[in-house]
Amino acid sequence: MHPHDDAAACVDQLRAALAANGITLPSLGTDLPTFAGAYNRAPLIALGNCNEETARTLTAVLRKAAGQ
């Protein structure tokens, strides 16, 4: 499997998990400069920007998952 395929699958899984919790990160995707670089390293996932409401929802979901 090409690293790009694996990163794309990871993004799809993360997008689905976030959606299952009512969260959308509009800029979620793979970090394209990672693929253009000359260094042999794993691709990065770009979480991107979100509004304050989405950030608060994400915080609440993560805290609940951590048992806080």
pTM score, whole prediction: 0.81
Sign of torsion, CA 53 55 56 60?
Answer: positive
Helix, strand or coil for residue 56? Answer: helix
Per-domain residue ranges of the chain: 3-65
Contacts of 46 (CB under 8 A, 6+ apart): 27, 28, 29, 30, 31
| Among 29, 26, 33, CA closest to 12 | 29
Q: What is the pLDDT of residues 15-58, one digit of tens each?
A: 999 999 999 999 999 988 877 766 677 888 999 899 999 999 99
Query: Quick one: which H or E segment has residue 30?
Result: strand 29-30
Give the Cα separation of 10 and 51 in Å (integer).
Answer: 23
